Amino acid sequence: MKTVHVDLGPRSYDVLIGRGLLDRTGELMRKETRCDLPNSIETKPILVITDPSVKSHYFEKAWNSLSRAGYINLSGYDPEFTPVSEERKSLETAGKILRTLAQHRVSRSGTIVALGGGVVGDLAGFVAATYLRGINFVQVPTTLLAMVDSSVGGKTGVNLPEGKNLVGAFHQPKLVVADLDTLKTLPASEFSAGMAEVIKYGAIKDKALFDRVAKGVKPDDSDLDEIVEKCVAIKARIVEDDEFETKGQRALLNFGHTIGHAIEKATGYNTYLHGEAIALGMRAAAWLSVWQAGLPEAEAREIEASLIANHLPVTLKSEVDRAAILSALGNDKKVAVDGLNRWVLLKKLGEASSGHEVSIDNVKKAIDLLYTPISHQS
Ligand SMILES: NC(=O)c1ccc[n+]([C@@H]2O[C@H](COP(=O)([O-])OP(=O)(O)OC[C@H]3O[C@@H](n4cnc5c(N)ncnc54)[C@H](O)[C@@H]3O)[C@@H](O)[C@H]2O)c1
Ligand SMILES: [Zn+2]
């Protein structure tokens, strides 16, 4: 088992990464959360939030492990199961769960466990952040994206009809338990989507990691623990520097996300998974880096090859509206002039910097490139 410690003073915690950990979740949590609470762990109520697919695969195993570790409910209710989806990562769902906690008179010694991907983690974290102004929270991520990104860093939140993640709070978990075995049942497209974030970490901070993942990664690869550990460590160091996103260091994590988010918005969030949109955004950002930050062309091509090796899209579907992407990026002039879009660019693989302003002509050129298959590119 690998451990990455996230050092945030009183809010510090460990991220545990390995295989077969789900079976040990209760025991691992017990160790991690027992000392700072007035009640003994045995009297701690616990609410597991998950979603239907994850429930069918893993809820029983997780719950058995929690029961074995003494997480029994003394106030007379069964572990709750709350199905969620991106549409239901909402205030309404959060309200329902909050009311359940209140009806069962759960006190501050209660714990919320998020068993699932980023949707479950964000929602469960938001509930844990707001119930009684904050109760214990444990993340058990079951998607690659959640393991390397959303379960670490303390950002929690829900969507509004007006936009994604508009309501939220910073609330760090007490522990993150990432069981790589759960990735075996993850749909292949979801695994690839998580790989987009992994490639991003390599591109912005770690050339050796980039070189490894450029060969392609599969859920049963024996070095997957090291790959996830490296990503989590990169995110942990950035979060340690800028826990509440006030200094700008966290911006590096947005490599590929400016155009990626615009693609998601322009396609109504229903054409590409987040990681797929980010893959396209990284291809664009790689060439912007060539044109404006001195990234060698050969390295931009390495990024493209890495995306392809990990089954990620590098070309936009022809029906995606170019004008809609540009408008999602904001007023054309502002993109370049007012610096509303702060771009993260690469000087070389493994070295990124933020705060770049790019010319609108180059933004348009980069988007046009996304309609061009790799083989036709000069
Ligand atoms: N808090 C943060 O810092 C942060 C960072 C990035 C993304 N996010 C959020 O994360 C969310 C996306 O998370 P995601 O990509 O994990 O998506 P997700 O939670 O929707 O999971 C993807 C799909 O995989 C299924 N699934 C999950 N684990 C599985 C498993 N082991 N086996 C089989 N099926 C499984 C889920 O049921 C779902 O259908 C978004 O809401 C995004 O806003 C948050
Ligand atoms: Zn992302």
Q: 255-278, pLDDT tens digit by residue?
A: 999 999 999 999 999 999 999 999
Contact indicator for 90, 116 with CB cutoff of 8 Å: no
Pairing of strands 155-160, 343-348: unpaired
pLDDT digits (tens, 9 = 90+) for 117-145: 999 999 999 999 999 999 999 999 999 99
Inter-CA distances, 139 with 28, 108, 123, 142, 316, Å: 12, 17, 11, 9, 34
**Which residue numbers in the chain have pLDDT < 50?**
35-43, 74-78, 332-334, 337, 376-378
Give the residue, by CA position, lying nearest to ligand 1 atom 16. Answer: 117
- Pocket lining: 141 vs ligand 1, CB cutoff 6 Å: no
Please tell me whether residue 164 adopts helix, strand or coil conformation: strand
Pairing of strands 13-18, 2-6: antiparallel
User: How far apart, in whole angstroms, are the C-alpha atoms of residue 319 and residue 355?
Assistant: 32
What is this structure's pTM? 0.94
Among the bound ligands, the one closest to the CA of 185: 1
Among the bound ligands, the one closest to the CA of 118: 1
Compute, in angstroms, the gap from residue 157 CA to the centroid of ligand 1: 13
Please tell me whether residue 173 adopts helix, strand or coil conformation: coil
Contact indicator for 254, 203 with CB cutoff of 8 Å: no
- Give the burial class of 223: count Cβ atoms within 10 A of its Cβ; 0-12 exposed, 13-18 middle, 19 or more buried: exposed
Contact indicator for 261, 328 with CB cutoff of 8 Å: yes
Locate all alpha helices (DSSP H) within the chain, ordered by sequence.
25-33, 52-54, 60-68, 91-103, 118-130, 144-145, 188-205, 207-213, 224-241, 257-266, 274-293, 297-309, 322-328, 332-336, 360-369
| Cβ neighbours of residue 103 closer than 8 Å, sequence gap 6 or more | none
Among the bound ligands, the one closest to the CA of 129: 1
Q: What angle do CA 358, 362, 364 make, to 5 degrees?
A: 120
Compute, in angstroms, the gap from residue 357 CA to the centroid of ligand 1: 31
- Pocket lining: 327 vs ligand 1, CB cutoff 6 Å: no
* Test site for ligand 1: of 137, 150, 183, 232, most ligand atoms within 8 A of the Cβ: 150
Ligand 1 nearest-atom number relative to CA 185? 32
* Cβ contacts of 351-354, under 8 Å, gap ≥ 24: 351/204, 351/205, 352/203, 352/204, 352/205, 352/252, 352/255, 353/252, 353/293, 354/248, 354/251, 354/252, 354/254
Q: 274: number of CA atoms within 13 Å, CB side?
A: 18
Ligand 1 nearest-atom number relative to CA 274? 15
Q: What angle do CA 173, 177, 181 make, to 5 degrees?
A: 150
- Pocket lining: 165 vs ligand 1, CB cutoff 6 Å: yes
In one-letter notation, the amino acid at residue 243 is E
Q: What is the pLDDT of residue 318?
A: 94
Q: What is the pLDDT of residue 259?
A: 96
CA 62 to the chain's CA centroid: 21
* Cβ contacts of 65-69, under 8 Å, gap ≥ 24: 65/22, 65/23, 65/24, 65/25, 65/26, 65/27, 66/25, 66/26, 66/29, 66/113, 67/26, 68/26, 68/27, 69/25, 69/26, 69/27, 69/29, 69/30, 69/41
Q: What is the pLDDT of residue 374?
A: 87
Among the bound ligands, the one closest to the CA of 149: 1
Q: What radius of gyration, in Å, describes the C-alpha atoms of the chain?
A: 21
Compute, in angstroms, the gap from residue 85 CA to the centroid of ligand 1: 9
- Pocket lining: 143 vs ligand 1, CB cutoff 6 Å: yes
User: How far apart, in whole angstroms, are the C-alpha atoms of residue 308 and residue 368?
Assistant: 19
Strand order of the β-sheet with 111-116 is: 2-6, 13-18, 175-179, 136-141, 111-116, 46-49
- Which tokens hold the place of 360? 């609108």
